Structure 1
Amino acid sequence: MTGRVAAVNLGIVTEAAWAGDASGRSGIDKRPVDGPVMVGLGGLAGDFIGERAHHGGPEQAVYAYAEEDAAWWAAEIGRGIRPGGFGENLTTWAVDVTGAVIGEQWSVGSAVLQVTKPRTPCTTFAGFWGMPDLIKRFTARATPGAYLRVLVEGEIGAGDPVEVVDRPAHGVTIGEVFRALHLEPQLLPRLLDVEDLPDAIREKARRRVRA
């Protein structure tokens, strides 16, 4: 079954003590928008990114999180979570984001996106939610969402189908990479030959395997 985009979300400028960059501003608060949005190699038009040392760039141009995983969190913490509540650009429905294979390509609207790596939770995320233990809980749940590279620029809007058009044979998934880095170090050797993983992650895996 082909999934779809449930919402396209753009970051607004948020000033807070917990914000990640030196100016105290963050773009983690993303809000749903109407109509199609242009996505280029650097991300979605109009999306504010605060701490560019750790966010944005070609390997993190777009962040996707599954509506189904958001529903689990809403039940877990006893409050509603609107689209964009995880800082995601694309809220998806019926897309296995955690099971997405590193390097697989998604046709979304008139764009083509490529899965690059999982999201790592940070103190800005915990501050945004007002949950000091969120990093620990988010890590234990291990449904981190997926960062995406833009291969073909285009427009994406709510309701657009999400279709996997190419999937590498290695089979290493977003969930597996996240667990290898944070929960199950015995999985680290699986990451070494995944060419579509960012170099920094592969090098980190090599160092840990050697150690």
Structure 2
Amino acid sequence: MTPGTLLAVCRVHALLPTTDSTGVTAIDKRAVEGPVKVHGLGLSGDVQASRKHHGGESKAVYAYSQVDADYWAAELGTNISPGLFGENLRIDGLPVSEAVIGERWQIGERTILEVTCPRTPCRNFAARMKQPRWVVRFAEAGRTGTYLRVIRNGSISAGDPVTVIHRPDHGVTSGDVFRGLTTEQARALNGAADAGTVKLSPEVLKALRTLKSREAPGIPEPAPAR
């Protein structure tokens, strides 16, 4: 598979005030030069204002594709610069929003990240974009990007290749989770988790429980994260 390219690495530029319980948001991210270290909770020098909603181990890094950014640039008539959507990584050449849950990317010589779950738009994102019905529009477009956990620490820089080194056979993507899982997809994810081939994030487990509550006869209990 042809590798993608890491176009930009983005970290928080300034904390912005919000009206929620956290009081601030770290959504204002900007591209930085030079190598940036990656550790279990994200990028060195970055901030996760609310690890409950936008951080923690399963949401350590947020990636967005240049193709999706170009779509929004055309829709909004403005440049979508790296970091504008709060992403840490701007990537070209990979279908980021449709990456398979559990898929692993190697960036540069050492860093390995694993796809965990889609991004859900929130009011802080809407406030940043200042666009009518932004949360609804972003959700309807389905170009959500994806969160990743850190499997192996390292340093990354703009220009590094992004290589898919493992793609699970279950085939369920981050975009599938965002759109709402089908019974077949839920079975596939649970089967992969039971076999130990994928570690399901709390967000995916929540999606499985939601589906099970609607269609209990056809859905097994979600497998615990391993």
Within 5 Å, give how 1:154-173 maps onto structure 2.
154-173=154-173
**Separation (CA, whole Å) in 2 of partners of 1:98 and 1:200:** 16
Within 5 Å, give how 1:1-211 maps onto structure 2.
1-17=2-18, 20-23=20-23, 25-109=24-108, 110-180=110-180, 187=182, 189-194=184-189, 195=193, 196-211=199-214
TM-score (norm 1): 0.90
Q: Which moved more, 1:189-198 or 1:163-172?
A: 189-198
Q: Kindly indicate whether the alpha-carbon contact (under 8 Å) linking 1:189 and 1:209 is maintained by their aligned counterparts in 2.
A: no
**Separation (CA, whole Å) in 1 of partners of 2:63 and 2:43:** 12
Alpha-carbon displacement from aligned partner over 1:64-95 (angstroms, at most 9, x marks no partner): 00011001001101111110111000000011
**Separation (CA, whole Å) in 2 of partners of 1:121 and 1:88:** 12
What percentage of aligned pairs have identical amino acids? 43
**Separation (CA, whole Å) in 1 of partners of 2:123 and 2:14:** 17
Alpha-carbon displacement from aligned partner over 1:147-197 (angstroms, at most 9, x marks no partner): 0010000001000000000111000011111111xxxx6x25513542333
RMSD, aligned CA = 1.6
Q: Kindly indicate whether the alpha-carbon contact (under 8 Å) linking 1:11 and 1:28 is maintained by their aligned counterparts in 2.
A: yes
- Structure 1 residues not aligned, in runs of 5+: none
TM-score (norm 2): 0.85
Alpha-carbon displacement from aligned partner over 1:73-126 (angstroms, at most 9, x marks no partner): 011011111101110000000111122110011000220000001000000000
Q: Kindly indicate whether the alpha-carbon contact (under 8 Å) linking 2:36 and 2:156 is maintained by their aligned counterparts in 1.
A: yes
Q: Kindly indicate whether the alpha-carbon contact (under 8 Å) linking 1:112 and 1:152 is maintained by their aligned counterparts in 2.
A: yes
- Structure 2 residues not aligned, in runs of 5+: 194-198, 215-226
**Separation (CA, whole Å) in 1 of partners of 2:86 and 2:54:** 11
**Separation (CA, whole Å) in 2 of partners of 1:67 and 1:142:** 15
What SS does structure 1 have at the residue aligned with 2:82? Answer: coil
Alpha-carbon displacement from aligned partner over 1:117-148 (angstroms, at most 9, x marks no partner): 10000000000111241110011000100100
**Separation (CA, whole Å) in 2 of partners of 1:86 and 1:46:** 18
Q: Which moved more, 1:189-198 or 1:144-153?
A: 189-198
Q: Kindly indicate whether the alpha-carbon contact (under 8 Å) linking 2:13 and 2:28 is maintained by their aligned counterparts in 1.
A: yes
